[in-house]
Chain A
Amino acid sequence: MSYKRRKAINKVMIFISILTFLIGAFFLFWILGDIFLKGIRHINLRMFVELPKPPGVPGGGIGNALVGTLILTILASIIGIPIGIMVGVYVNEYGRGKLAWWTKFLSEVLTSFPTIIIGVFVYLIVVVPMKSFSALAGGIALGIIMLPIIAKSADESIKMVPNSLREAAYALGVPKWRTILKVVIPSASSGIITGIMIAIARVMGETAPLLFTSLNNVYWSLSLTKPIGSLTVTIFNYATSPYDDWRNMAYASALVLVFLILILNIIARIYGGRKK
């Protein structure tokens, strides 16, 4: 192959590679722009505090869904965060053998496991025995989804804590568990907090598992044993309905959801990048 031809191939392939990135970025801006342009027209302040209305009736909102999503996210955090961090502690500070390997492996598999299956599972173990869809079931499903994400970020940031810090604590006679709680986890906290924010953003956008667990509720509800509305299920129902009113409301609510998720991701990115 002549040098000229090799140079030409070089140019073409580099151009193609740049093009693939532009295609990816193009789709990001298309999807976000689409939601923004169709949502911004129908957004108003009243929708944040009102209940959904039947199609054809003007007004109506997603107040109950916002509260529902908040409750579900808190429940999920209560389950997912402590267990996730402890898994990260275990694989770094205690685990050497098979158990640690399997924990790591299954945690990785679970991270990208179909969330619909987790929804179905929680339906079987919580909804069926309780004979009712409930906020609790939704929170458990989202907590299970959160768990491996937190575990991975805890694992990775605890791994970065230098051993000299642990040794310094031991030299002062601090027991291992106090060292982990007072030295290791605080040193790893920025990575763990980044992971928590990413995990919260992720579960806020989950729809499929909630269809099997918390279902939906068009009224205000704070009860953990009753079905509860959520932003995603509300949007899903509105978007797949044949009514224009509801579809417009779906776009306005989707804009709220995307905004919340993007903000969380951007804060996580800035916060996580700051200390590196």
Chain B
Amino acid sequence: MLRQALAQSWTSEFAVEARNLVKDFGEKRAVDGVSLTVPTGSIYGLLGPNGAGKTTTLRMLLGIIDPSSGERSVLGNIRPLEVASRVGYLPEERGLYPSMNAREAIAFLGALRGMPLAEGRRRGDQLLADAGLSDWAKKPIRTLSKGMAQTVQLLGTLVHDPRLIVLDEPFSGLDPINQGKLERLIRERAANGVTVIFSTHVIAHAERLCERIAIIAAGKVAFEGRVDEARSRLRQIVRLRTRACDGPWRSALPANARCEHGEWVFELPDSGPEPLLKALMDGDAGIETLAIERPGLHEAFVAIAGEAAAEAMGNPELGG
């Protein structure tokens, strides 16, 4: 009765919902009250540094482990394994049977999710051909490169046409070309109404792909919502270059404006750009360039999760 009552309280609008998920490993609390709502058909990013609790959250959502407390619903079901046939999962630690060939590995992963083996083999051949790996279809996994094996596992994750795809750090270990391919693939699936959740510690991927994100730091959700909402938490940044170095117009700049390489950088004042522009023009500042920028997700992440978490995430540019 209680379970039924709980199940009825979930909405079909969301492919995945989590409420106050907590996971303790012994005395250590890995996930501390995570709540998420992933709209059906959206691309959703779990953002956070290593050890933040992203993988543990995903594992709880998928039913690999039970939460210490809290509730979750996946595709409308509070028992995620019961909808496993409609879910595809690529774990962070990739793993395949080394003696299986690529085609069989894809078919096996499909069969685990309820797809007939013969159909899995047929679709495996097709997916391998689309990925340009036809020549490797009959080769054992142990003979493939790490990137190829990773691609095979990704194809195995998608072979049964899941309605929900969960990818844990899918971009790690891929070269920039394959990262681009994966981004395209995620967009294609989402365009067909498939919900995609992926975790990453590379902000650029989340910024490019996600409609909604959850920023997780130290096991807690520091932010959950749309990417533009995260960015709008910060004020817009003004970058100003003038011919005159000084003048009465300087008083129009905020007190915390700083000069970087001959350029003034400061947050757009509450009063907006017009009073600032007027002061600059009246004061003969001689505007060379004036740019008003929306802060990126990286800046938003720094502001939300803290400088330490941002440092732990590493350089987003390197991450692709």
Say whether A and B bind each other.
Answer: no
Q: Name B's A-contacting residues (CB within 8 A).
A: none
Q: Name A's B-contacting residues (CB within 8 A).
A: none
